[in-house]
Structure 1
Amino acid sequence: MRNSRARLDWARLRREAGPNWRAPSPSHQGEVAMKLGMFMHPIHDFKRGYHTLLNEDMEVIKCADEVGFDEVWLGEHFALPSEPIQSPLMLMAALINQTKRIKLCSGVLCLAYQHPAIIAGQAAQFDHMAKGRFMMGIGPGATPPDFEMFKLLDKNRMEMIEESIDCIHYIWTHDPPYKWQGKHWQFEIKDNILADIGVGAMGKPYQKPYPPVMIPAMSPNSSSVRLAARRDWTFISANFVPDSVAIGHWKDYSDECMKLGRKPDGAKWRCGRTMLVTETDAQAEAYLKTPNNALWWYFHYIVVLMKYGNFHHLLKTDPSMPDDEVTPEYCIRTMVHAGSPKKVAKEIAEFREKSGPFETLIVSHHDWVPKPLWRRHMELIPGELMPRLRAEIGWKDAAE
């Protein structure tokens, strides 16, 4: 039963708040525009088996739709058994008729890996199959084995994705003949066009002129955030970096918008958070003490991979901290919101007050081990946490 839009018991909230209670204005009583999404790299313990992981990922997305998530973002990787989705569009296509309202979004399509005409054709087809329940996350990729395989280690991948998306949008907004002469890709169709029988034209997407574009961001002073501002795209701040990075993302985005004479728009900002929501604070505390739990594995993978790629400085709350202090345990202490819906909602509201007005909360996905705990976590977020979070934000907005 979908319950993410349920209103809270205001009398109960008043009792819990005690002397700090401030009645929100009617316009803010449960009506704050805060959406909910899930980001799935997905990162798994690969030893659980490829077939098991694919089926679990599909079950997670169906569960997200059932309980009230607004959107899900699914990654693309090739030579990473721990991140086993080679084609997010293929997996999500299998779920179109098994879900009802959730938006199925690429998180991300690695544009440097393929010719843009291939991506344009496949994404346009998927957009029609999903009847517009699609947002197109794009990126340069982030993993050394994929770069090695596709001979991209010494390439300017950010430059490549800008050219690729321009080429894709060119295809989607033009009829043949086509001609694209870029630095990284070239193509044309001019001699083999039979318009009367539908030969020579590329398919256009369901959404006009094309699906919304998203780009992820994980570093301070992010060029991706500034690119999003210039292109009027949405962006997602990564969940596995210190709070200061996300705070800086809003500043960078706002500064770039101001240069363009455009008002910064919180609706364009999706902010990732790592959390474990349980019935009680004690339940979350007990789980986090369990050896090799799903959150420990997630951050173990992140730490090892980022140290290998010499990006582990991005995980540090203090640039001067020794490298050997960057551990899964450190990441859990500094980056995870864990506890009851009341506790976690309060923490997220306090973080948002510091960081800026993101209008979509993006929850990171983790292995369903054990399954009952993580499924209940997914139910509690839209059912209990989000109404509280909307109320917390509404009170602050009303007070201002």
Structure 2
Amino acid sequence: MSASPYPTNFGVFMAPFHKIGVSPTVLFERDLAIVEMADRLGFQEAWLGEHHSGGHEPIGSPELMLAAVSRSTRNIKLGTAVNSLPYHNPFLLAERLVTLDHLTHGRAIMGFGPGQLLSDAYMLGIDPATQRDRMLEAADVIMRLLRGETVTEKTDWYDLHEAKLQLRPYTVPELDVVVAAVTSPSGPVTAGRLGIGMINLSASSASAFEALRTHWSIAEKEAAAHGRTIDRKNWRLSAITHIAETEDQARKDCTYGFEEIWNYLAHISPMPASEKPDIEGMIEEAIESGAVLIGTPDTAIELIRKLADQTGGFGSFVMTLTDFTTFDKQKRALELWAEYVIPEFRGQLQPIREHNAWVRDNEWKTKTMAAISAASEKYAQEATTAR
């Protein structure tokens, strides 16, 4: 990674968290439209999640969604955030992601985790206590398959006999793979052991923010112990985000769906439910806790700088969009991010500012007027001589 600790890649992540009561067909089209818009605006990555219950997160197969949107995008990389490994035969999932990599001409990213919703595991007859062990087992097999190995391995939940992928990934030398992390060391341990990237979700929340102090050092230690190499440019941080032209406007925007989505999140994650009696108080509480970023482009820039200071540097920041606000307001937030936040960290604004100052601080106008005056005088003299 370069000397700068700040990210130069930016993405958008949608679990997605949608309000209930809207046609899922319409919501899917909106999710695809966000990815298409992000591609046009210069975002580097888009991520879609996998969930099977709860109602608010309706995408059961991110690969299908990403394959669909790959036809209408050109540059943006398309990631699963995340595939829940205990729910899939590792050979079949590896095969699907390799196919997606070919369909996108190398734009696929595989993100994986143990699975978040216990209700998903219940429906599939999976003991939640086994999910992290199963994730590690499957992740090891998937990486071996992606790297061209033939795998024979039997566990209590899959049985592979001389399994080898028919296709190698389109991406050379290998498909981009990342593991999800929040607060526990399991994410960085897995990243280091397998030599892959990592995406820290909810990175701005108090507990996750504190864990960032040690996560990369854990990953580096595990990588060294297993003969792997890892790079901070493959470390992604994500936070629930909404920005607008002013902080007051951003908070007002979020009164649309904040209460419904926040109460849902309190049921599926360790965060406590809000005890505030009004929506404004709930939003204020969430902002003060660091659980969400609701503000302006300047607020976003400040958070990214804080995250860089906390981590020592990372490669990508991924903004998590939710139905805290309307579809139109989400699109405007995406525009503001592209207009002000991305160019700030990609170094695109500084030379423009420097050129503007250079022009304003010099007497170019005086010199221009003098040149015009001299040309006029010369013309008059030549006209007189000609007569």
Q: TM-score range by the shorter chain?
A: 0.7 to 0.9
Is this contact kept in 1: 2:185–2:218, CA < 8 A?
no
Aligned length: 340
Could you say if the C-alpha distance between residues 323 and 333 of structure 1 is closer, same or farther in structure 2, counting changes exceeding 3 Å?
closer
Q: Which ranges of structure 2 fall in alignment gaps of 5 or more residues? A: 351-387
Matched, 1:205 2:169: yes
Work out the CA distance in 2 between the residues paired with 1:260 and 1:235: 13
Aligned residues of 2:192 and 2:221 also touching (Cα < 8 A): no
Deviations 1:112-138 (A, max 9, x none): 112122112211111111111011101
Counterpart residue identity of residue 174, structure 2: Y
The answer on 1:216 being equivalent to 2:180 is: yes
Return the alpha-carbon distance in structure 2 between the equivalents of residues 391 and 32 of structure 1: 11
Counterpart of 2:158 in structure 1 is 185
> Could you tell me how far apart the structure 2 residues matched to 1:124 and 1:323 are?
42
Gaps of 5+ in 1: 1-26, 191-199, 307-311, 317-321, 395-400
1:314-333 alignment runs, 5 A limit: 315=271, 328-329=282-283, 330-333=285-288
Q: In structure 2, how many angstroms separate the alpha carbons of the residues matched to 1:187 and 1:348? A: 43
Which residue among 267, 279, 282 is the counterpart of 2:245? 279
Letter in 1 for 2:195: D
The partner residue of 2:78 within 87, 104, 107 is 104
Q: TM-score, normalised by structure 2?
A: 0.78
TM-score w.r.t. the length of structure 1 is: 0.75
RMSD of Structure 2 on Structure 1 (CA)? 3.2
Alignment of 1:122-201 (within 5 A): 122-174=96-148, 179-188=152-161
Residues 239 and 163 of structure 1, relative CA distance in 2, 3 Å threshold: same
* Aligned pairs for 1:1-400 within 5 A: 34-174=8-148, 179-188=152-161, 202-219=166-183, 221-239=184-202, 242-258=205-221, 260-261=223-224, 265-288=231-254, 290=255, 293-306=256-269, 312=270, 315=271, 328-329=282-283, 330-334=285-289, 335-367=291-323, 369-389=325-345
Mark the CA change 1:368 to 1:56 in structure 2 (over 3 Å): closer, same or farther: farther
Per the TM alignment, residue 249 of structure 1 is displaced from its structure 2 partner at its CA by: 2.8
CA distance in 2, matches of 1:205, 1:44: 33
Structure 1 letter corresponding to 2:160: F
Query: Are the structure 2 counterparts of residues 229 and 86 from structure 1 closer, same or farther at C-alpha, using a change threshold of 3 Å?
Result: same
Q: Is the 8 A contact 1:71 1:105 kept in 2?
A: yes
Greater C-alpha radius of gyration: 2
- Code of the residue aligned with 1:284 in structure 2: it is A
Amino acid in the other structure paired with 2:315? E
Q: Distance in 2 between matches of 1:259 and 1:122?
A: 28
How big is the shift at 1:33? 5.1
Residues 296 and 222 of structure 1: CA distance in aligned 2, closer, same or farther (over 3 Å): farther
Change (3 A) 1:202 1:264: closer
Percent of aligned pairs sharing the same letter: 24
AA matched with 2:234:
K
Query: Are 1:172 and 1:209, in contact at CA under 8 Å, matched by a contact in 2?
Result: no
Distance 1:323 1:282 in 2: 21
Q: What's 1:4 paired with?
A: none
Which amino acid letter does the alignment assign opposite residue 297 of structure 2?
P
**Contact in 1 for aligned 2:253/2:329 (Cα 8 Å):** no
Shift of 1:331: 2.3
CA contact (8 A) 2:15 2:50 kept: yes
- CA deviation profile, 1:95-150 (whole Å, cap 9, x unmatched): 11200100011111111112122112211111111111011101111112210111
